[in-house]
Amino acid sequence: MSDERYELYYWPGLPGRGEFIRLALADAGVPWTDVVRARQAAGEDGVAALLEVLQRDDLSPPPFAPPILHARGLWISHVAVILDWLGGEHGLAPSDEAGRLAAHQLQLTLTDFVAEAHDTHHPGGSNLAYEEQTEEALVRSKSFREARAPKFLGYFERVVRAHGEDADHLVAGGHSYVDLSLAHVLDGLAYAFPRAFAQWTKQTPRLIALRDRVFARERVAAYRASDEHVAFNEHGIFRHYPELDGDA
């Protein structure tokens, strides 16, 4: 059991929250099977495999939602919990208590940031389509562009600078899974809000340096150039609706 290949369960066709896990697995050099896609590639009903896991009452707890990592007999859900576990197992986080806690806290601040980025296009509720809440989305995205995104990005810039004026990492000691996640968030924000992103990041040069360093890492670059990497689209967290990006 413990030597089996890791399995990732996530919705197909979008990067979504699964991408934070894929980037960590790729960077750590850990091979994994993306179960839904693998079954689809074999002509099977891949989504059914995911729904089956969500309905299993023998798991403690049954996962509420994907991503779900099945590794070494454990079934782990929630991005931040999976990354905390992978960070400890595969050297993607500090091994001391304070460092591990630091990474986990930063990841949860990113989690909040990601949820707010998502809610720019779904402020009325995740059970409604974007087209049913465009008016609300205009209000929420204005708040995000003018107040929330600058606040979060300014915070992360400050965290990086605390490690030195030329630093390009978030956690003491260097590269960690949080850097991978932040690079992906920056990538997503640049896709969804190209105009606003250009403005925000004038104030956050260290975050741009961090992103560029992360995406130049050999295994990360190889993964992002591969067929396993799904591009952003209008089914995920980061969606490009020009009307939400403010005025030129």
**Which position among 37, 39, 148, 175 is part of the footprint of its own copies (CB under 8 A)?**
148
| Minimum CB–partner distance for residue 111 and its own copies (Å) | 8
**Alpha carbons 75 and 53: distance in angstroms, whole number:** 10
* Smaller CB separation from its own copies, 186 or 230: 186
* Contact status: 98 vs its own copies (CB under 8 A): yes
**Which position among 30, 38, 49, 108 is part of the footprint of its own copies (CB under 8 A)?**
108
The length of the chain is: 248
**Alpha carbons 57 and 226: distance in angstroms, whole number:** 36
Please give the full DSSP string across 111-165, using - where no structure is assigned. Answer: HHHHHHHHHTT-TT-TTS-GGGSHHHHHHHHHHIIIIIHHHHHHHHHHHHHTT-T
* Smaller CB separation from its own copies, 171 or 214: 171
* Smaller CB separation from its own copies, 37 or 77: 77
Helix, strand, or coil here: 1? coil
C-alpha angle 73-21-121 in degrees, rounded to nearest 5: 130
| Minimum CB–partner distance for residue 109 and its own copies (Å) | 5
**Which position among 158, 174, 203, 221 is part of the footprint of its own copies (CB under 8 A)?**
158
β pairing state of 32-34 and 68-71 = unpaired
Q: Which residues bind its own copies (CB under 8 A)?
A: 57-58, 60-64, 74, 76-78, 80-81, 85, 97-99, 101-102, 104-106, 108-109, 112, 115, 119, 123-128, 133, 136, 139-140, 142-144, 147-148, 155, 158-159, 162, 170-172
